[in-house]
Amino acid sequence: MKRLWLLFAQTVTVLLAAWFVVLTLKPQWLDRGPDQATAPSTAVVREAPTTPSGASGTAPPGSLSAAVRKAAPAVVSINTSTTARHPAGNDPWFRFFFGDQGAQQQTGLGSGVIMSADGYVLTNNHVVESADEIEVVLTDARRTTAQVIGTDPESDLAVLKITLDQLPVMTLGSSDALQVGDQVLAIGNPFGVGQTVTSGIVSALGRNQLGINTFENFIQTDAAINPGNSGGALTDTQGNLLGINTAIYSRSGGSMGIGFAIPVSTARQVLDSIVQHGQVVRGWIGVEPGELTPELAQTFGVQPERGEDITGVIVTGVLNNGPAANAGIRPGDVIVQVDGQPVRTVSELLARIAALTPGQAAPFLVQRRGEQVQANVTPAQRPRPRGMQQR
């Protein structure tokens, strides 16, 4: 009996010692159940709610997701294909030495903007020029062929028509209210990777003399624009259309932070004119304008208004029996105003005249040898450039 008592006492002493050691060195072992004894330890973290941005009607501060959700569905991708033959493909000697080259398929890509629920799509003329087939791809993966309604190479715009139901439509903004420094978004399909959104600011307004189009009044932006963005949308931070992305300045072929967009005010005029008339109807008066330099102003006796600089565009040539000649405008005259609007540069004069309605007389304010002369000019319709095909 004494031996059993000693064995019991020793066993209890060993167990208490073990319990004391565990309590001191590994107290967490005593808090776990038998099923959790071998489970790895985990850190306790606090996670943010997983509600998607905008699902509760709000977005993180600074987010432009609401503008993208509004505008992006109305921006489409445009795929074009053209069948091209070698220029000398019909020459017997060429075929003798090089064989029949056959027709080669060339493809192109760009972007476009759905402007109306009945399927009118605005894009750049250079995107669809000479294309045999045009395919429009929406953000919801729907695909359809497009018909060219009309083109305007002088502004590098084109109008397409697609026939699909429940089309998303772009909301138009006001490019006339833009200011340098305003934040903008560029939406398109660069390099064919899929719809992409970039952001930046308005870097400059009224860019011209770039040699891109006949009528130039570009919005310059530093939002990244790359090949494939042509014809896509430039929007404000509310998702309203401000312009059609058209060109970039680049030495490498990629974005260098200088992109150009056609203002929506110009794009809307071209769209309406093409839909109504099949072509853009512009005014024309038959003059050859030139920039007014101080030397020319002195030569032709042009005097500035009191307290103002010399402004206007000098007429270097007048077409015989043209609208300007019939109204009495002569070479050496300086056009100061067109229909009450001031004129400072050649591009501004062209834009003012183009906006006139053919057959409707408009007042021109002209300086001639230091005197101001009022001339009422009845513009004709601007002739279509040579080489343009009627669509």
Q: Which of 230, 236, 255, 339 is catalytic?
A: 230
Q: Is 126 a catalytic residue?
A: yes
The pLDDT assigned to 158 comes to 94
Q: What fold, for 65-84+103-279?
A: Thrombin, subunit H (2.40.10)
In contact, 115 and 163? CB cutoff 8 Å: no
| Category of 222 on φ-ψ map: left (φ > 0), alpha (ψ -120 to 50) or beta | alpha
Strands 75-85 and 103-114: antiparallel
> How is the chain split into domains, by residue range?
65-84+103-279, 283-381
Q: Which of 77, 111, 126, 347 is catalytic?
A: 126
The pLDDT assigned to 346 comes to 85
Supply the DSSP symbol for 191. G
Q: By C-alpha distance, which of 142, 121, 127, 132 is closest to 270?
A: 121
Q: Is 156 a catalytic residue?
A: yes
Instruction: Quickly list H helices, the chain.
Output: 2-25, 65-71, 92-98, 125-128, 264-277, 294-299, 323-326, 346-354
**pLDDT in single tens digits along all 391 residues of the chain:** 667 777 777 787 877 777 776 667 666 666 655 554 444 555 555 555 555 555 555 667 778 899 999 999 999 999 999 886 656 656 666 565 566 666 667 888 999 999 999 999 999 999 998 888 999 999 999 999 999 999 999 889 999 999 999 999 999 998 888 999 999 999 999 988 889 999 999 999 888 777 777 778 899 999 988 888 999 999 999 999 999 999 887 766 676 778 999 999 889 989 999 998 888 888 999 999 988 877 777 777 676 655 456 678 899 899 999 999 999 999 989 998 999 888 888 888 888 898 898 999 999 999 888 788 899 999 999 887 654 443 3
Amino acid symbol at 193:
V
Q: Is 339 a catalytic residue?
A: no
Q: Which CATH number fits domain 283-381: 2.70.170.10, 2.40.30.10, 3.30.300.30, 2.30.42.10?
A: 2.30.42.10
Q: Which of 156, 236, 333, 339 is catalytic?
A: 156
pTM, 2 dp: 0.72
